Structure 1
Amino acid sequence: MAEKALARVTRLLSILSVLQHQEEATFAELGERFGVSARQIEQDVFLLFTTGKPGGMPDDYVDFDPDALDEGIARLRDAQGLTQVKLSAREAVALIGALGTLVAAGVAPQAAETALAKLRAAIDSNPIEVVADEAVDRARMSPLTDGLARGLAVELTYVDASDRRTVRVVEPHRLVAIDGIGYVECWCRRAQDYRTLRLDRIVGATLTDSLVTTAPMEQRGFSLEPRFAAQVTAHVSARWLLESMQDVVISDEGDAVTATFPVADVEWAAGRLLAVGPALRTIGPALLADAVARRALRVLEAQDGAA
């Protein structure tokens, strides 16, 4: 499988960061550290040798000791200020706020909570505290998350906006956060219809042994569950965009690149692919190809109308 550009750029910057702290390391040592071969590290170092600041003058380039390179040792002499990309204070606060909102809404996966804890530990303070309008009881969330994972219905005690308390059995389909408020999208057996219920208005939840039988209504809310695997072949100039697709697997062949990736939202994926429309060669399955074609046609019609 071809390596993604993002992975290599991250490693290149990390090599400089390591060498700035320990001055030198063998290709083999760096390879073991980054999980690649010594030969790959050698190629990375020689690429860095031709990298630097704009201007192109001799003293603008990253500099290594050439004699050490001949011995399989990377000895950094000038990193030109390059190191791993860091978040600015504003970016860090924004990320902490976004993750904190998901956690407060009760819809954050464990990975989000872990990332938030690491960010707060890294800056040794808490620059922003997200306070939900109503706290979501994690104990009441457990039957819902279990029901989602196991495909089982859940009995809820729910208080609506008019302060009316009802008991209903729902088939949970997905958890979402809208404007910082957590909701469960579900099929309500009591109403015999789809419902979107606020998590902070659930005062009791009990997992049942009744299986979920009603499919999610795709017109409501959104889903991050993949619907199918797409395979797209394009000119290598489109590689940058294909690399941005979630869980993508990429292979190169001559001037073409083929990407396979899961698709949860057809229209979103079609819109992304249209950004490199002229470079596209084949798109599968037909569902995605048709969506790209429809979007391209709308663009052409809009251009004709503006002419």
Structure 2
Amino acid sequence: MSDPTARTLALLSLLQTHRMWRGADLADELRVSERTVRRDVDRLRGLGYPVDAEPGADGGYRLAVGAHLPPLLVTDDEAIALTVGMRATALSAIEGIEDASLGLMAKLDDVLPDRLRRRIDALQQSVEIMTWSNEAADIHAADLTVLSQGCRDGEEVRFTYHRRDGEESSRLVEPHQLVAAGRRWYLVAWDVRRSDWRTFRVDRMHDPTLAGVRFERRPLPAADASTFVRDGMQAMVAEHRAVLVVSASTEDLVALGHWVVSESAPTADGRSHVVVSGNEFGDVASKISFIASRFDVEIEDAPDGVRQIVAAVARRLSAGASLVDGPTRHQRP
């Protein structure tokens, strides 16, 4: 490979796999001498890419973590994944990250070749990203950074916490892991002052800071952090509930999962009384809609807010069904 620019980009692409490359192997891949490889490595370092070199038979070259972010070289598939991922990130609940994501998408769009832009446009037009709730409060990306550092380094974290009932308290915790559930983020941590494992909603935290004290990691009383959060949510008394009559046996309802059905009991006519609950009207309505997609459902008792959401969903589904069943439906020849 005689073109120095093309050769340097090819070398960068190989090094970005983060494996240790022997000089001879790089020379074979690039069809040049090892001396040329050393010269191209120096050129990359001059451009800001930190390339480590280790001597000896087991040594070689590896791209290291740098003090600043140099330009990246990505493949076609990586560019598509990055663009689609940024679109999903723009819908997250992290405050300020939407603008950063949209800015990055705009920069990528400026440099993408037409063949990739067409593939990405087709993919984005075919995929709709659904968010489960619009009521989740935004959180600060800086807060997530502090909490993730505490989890990674085993360092205690202080913050002020606002509970659902409005009570405010100062907390000192040993952070274990962050868990993302839809548009909400939770921290699983050992509460130092209460000597117990707790789950904290990140959007209810204020001013989390590293406390400067390291701790020995404790075994979590669950298979993993996601399971711990899920079990805690199921055990929590929900703010809203609805009572349904469902044309299914209690055995059939078990297959829906405990996250959908809070309680169930058989009726005399072979149906079931079902209780669904949630902390938001949308949570309860989504569970009712989920059940109704499989069985006939009658709402015996529910808050007006839940009934309104379910009615709106039913109207949209009815309108969609009329379009599908109408005379304009495409017929296969």
Which TM-score band (shorter chain)?
0.3 to 0.5
Which has the bigger relative contact order, CA under 8 A and spacing at least 6?
Answer: 1
Rg bigger for which structure? 2
Using structure 2 for the length normalisation, give the TM-score: 0.35
Using structure 1 for the length normalisation, give the TM-score: 0.37
